[in-house]
């Protein structure tokens, strides 16, 4: 069976099926066996695991996952790839391909049916434009997760692990760090893909916390507050939150809460830690 981590085999499959890349799906297929092995190692896939793969493409990483895991459920949105996947994965009995948009998949049901409700490991090669909605769906849904190992645009990986006071720090950093511990495990140059993307990529592993690291009485409220504070990044936090109609808090209320936390009323949102946002949210 032809391994697709080899560029020659990938090109042969694409030519055989006269496959045309869809820009709207952000398709870039990995063609580097070393990177594939690093992803499997970073995800710590074992023979006990059920893996949810998002965006298998032509099945390149799926082949590696199928050899390492007990079972793989691969969710692919592009129906033109389904016949190719049936071909490239025909040698594996432990792979189920689901032709669906991951945002519409009932992942709780999938975990129940495929893994008896035990935590899944997620592995994905995500296009830039859809990374945040998919990551947030994974964490906000009640699906049991052990870890999420992602190939994303390098700047998105930087944002996921950024800390307060840096230019990359924002709502995505805080959301990811509330649910999981992020760690970049590899940087991947454009020449590792067909077609070559215009930007560098990175593999990041998000290890799910059993309990969030900070106590937020109302998660939804805390995230609404975080989003509002980064929407007008250059404004003080008191002004930014006072201008957010969905929060219904005044500038004075925010300033009083900041004072209780020992923070200046002139502070900007980008200077607050996750813990300070949780405490501010609880006070407001």
User: What average pLDDT score do residues 201-216 get?
Assistant: 94
Chain centroid to Cα 158, Å, comes to: 12
Chain region(s) in the chain for CATH 3.40.50.150:
7-208
- In this predicted model, what pLDDT tens digit does every residue of 183-193 receive, in sequence order? 999 999 999 99
Query: What are 152's strand-pairing partners?
Result: 202
pLDDT of residue 121: 97
Architecture in CATH of 219-283: Orthogonal Bundle (1.10)
pLDDT band at residue 47 using 50, 70 and 90 as cut-offs: very high
Relative to beta strand 145-153, strand 201-208 is antiparallel
The mean predicted confidence, pLDDT, of the chain is 93
Give the model confidence (pLDDT) of 156-167 as tens digits: 999 999 999 999
pLDDT computed for residue 157 by the predictor: 96
Torsions phi, psi for 34 (to 5 deg): -65, -40
Is the confidence at residue 51, as pLDDT, over 90? yes
Taking only the tens place, the pLDDT of each residue in 60-91 is: 999 999 999 999 999 999 999 999 999 999 99
CATH architecture assigned to 7-208: 3-Layer(aba) Sandwich (3.40)
- Structure confidence by residue, pLDDT tens digits, 113-124: 999 989 999 999
Neighbours of 141 (CB within 10 A): 14
pLDDT at 24 over 90: no
CATH 1.10.8.100 occupies which residues in the chain?
Answer: 219-283
The arithmetic mean of pLDDT across residues 31-39, rounded, is 93
Average pLDDT over residues 18-29: 82
The pTM score is 0.92
Paired tokens of 91:
């040698």
Is the pLDDT at 1 greater than 70, yes or no? no
pLDDT at 10 > cutoff 70: yes
My answer on whether omega of the bond before 195 falls inside 30° of 0, hence cis, is yes
Instruction: Tell me the average pLDDT across 242-256.
Output: 89
Q: How many whole angstroms separate alpha carbon 151 and alpha carbon 206?
A: 11
Residue whose C-alpha is closest to residue 55's, from 128, 154, 136: 128
Q: Is 42 helix (H, G, I), strand (E, B) or coil?
A: helix
């Amino acid at each position: 069976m032809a391994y697709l981590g080899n560029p020659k085999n990938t090109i042969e499959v694409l030519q055989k099926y006269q496959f045309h890349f869809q820009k709207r799906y952000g398709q870039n297929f990995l063609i580097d066996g070393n990177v594939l092995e690093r992803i499997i190692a970073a995800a710590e896939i074992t023979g006990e695991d059920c893996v949810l793969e998002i965006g298998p493409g032509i099945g390149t990483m799926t082949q590696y996952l199928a050899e390492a895991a007990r079972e793989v459920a691969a969710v692919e949105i592009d129906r033109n790839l389904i016949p190719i996947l049936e071909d490239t994965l025909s040698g594996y009995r432990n792979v189920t391909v689901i032709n669906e948009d991951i945002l519409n998949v009932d992942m709780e049901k999938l975990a129940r049916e495929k893994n008896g409700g035990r935590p899944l490991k997620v592995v994905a090669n995500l296009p830039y434009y859809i990374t945040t909605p998919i990551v947030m769906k994974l964490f906000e849904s009640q699906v049991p997760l052990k870890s999420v190992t992602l190939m994303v645009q390098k700047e998105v990986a930087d944002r996921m692990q950024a800390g307060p006071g840096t230019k990359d720090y924002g709502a995505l950093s805080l959301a990811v760090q509330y649910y999981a511990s992020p760690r970049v495990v590899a940087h991947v140059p454009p020449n590792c893909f067909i077609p070559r993307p215009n930007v560098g990529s990175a593999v990041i592993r998000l290890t799910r916390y059993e309990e969030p690291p900070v106590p937020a009485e109302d998660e939804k409220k805390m995230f609404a507050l975080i989003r509002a504070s980064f929407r007008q990044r250059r404004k003080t936090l008191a002004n930014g939150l006072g201008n957010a109609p969905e929060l219904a808090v005044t500038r004075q209320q925010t300033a009083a809460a900041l004072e209780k936390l020992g923070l200046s009323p002139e502070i900007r949102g980008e200077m607050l830690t996750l813990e300070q946002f949780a405490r501010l949210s609880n006070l407001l």
